[in-house]
Structure 1
């Protein structure tokens, strides 16, 4: 994903999108989320997983509002 795409993410994003940004495959992402080992905090909402985009950006070393 490009920096622009990452900065355009909503407040939370789905696990697959977060995994793609981190270079993690879908199956591995779900395994890591289930075991609490996903590299970014994951919210479990019913049967869905959501990732807070600010945490994802922080893990990738991207500061919101900083251009370049």
Structure 2
């Protein structure tokens, strides 16, 4: 994922997008999230996982634009 793509995400993104940015497969990401072991803070909204992009940026070592 490029910095421009990351900048376009807004304040939060879905688990699939965060997994792609981290180089994780979708199945692995959902497994880690369900076990509370995803490398970034994940919030649950019903059946959806939401990942704050601030945590994603920090994990990737990218400062906010």
Instruction: Give the TM-score normalised by structure 1.
Output: 0.92
1:8 is displaced (CA, Å) by 1.5
In structure 1, how many angstroms separate the alpha carbons of the residues matched to 2:45 and 2:3?
27
CA RMSD of aligned residues (A): 0.6
What displacement does 1:62 show?
0.2
Cα displacement string for residues 19-45 of structure 1 (whole angstroms, at most 9, x for unaligned residues):
000000000000000000000000001
Q: Which stretches in structure 2 are left out of the alignment for 5+ residues?
A: none
Aligned length: 65
Higher relative contact order at CA 8 Å, sep ≥6: structure 1 or structure 2? 2
Larger Rg: 1
TM-score (structure 2 length as normaliser)? 0.96
Distance across 1 between alignment mates of 2:42 and 2:33: 7
Alignment of 1:58 with 2:32, yes or no, is: no
Consecutive unaligned residues of structure 1, counting only runs of 5 or more, are none
Runs of 4+ in 1 over 6 A off after TM superposition: none
CA distance in 1, matches of 2:63, 2:57: 7
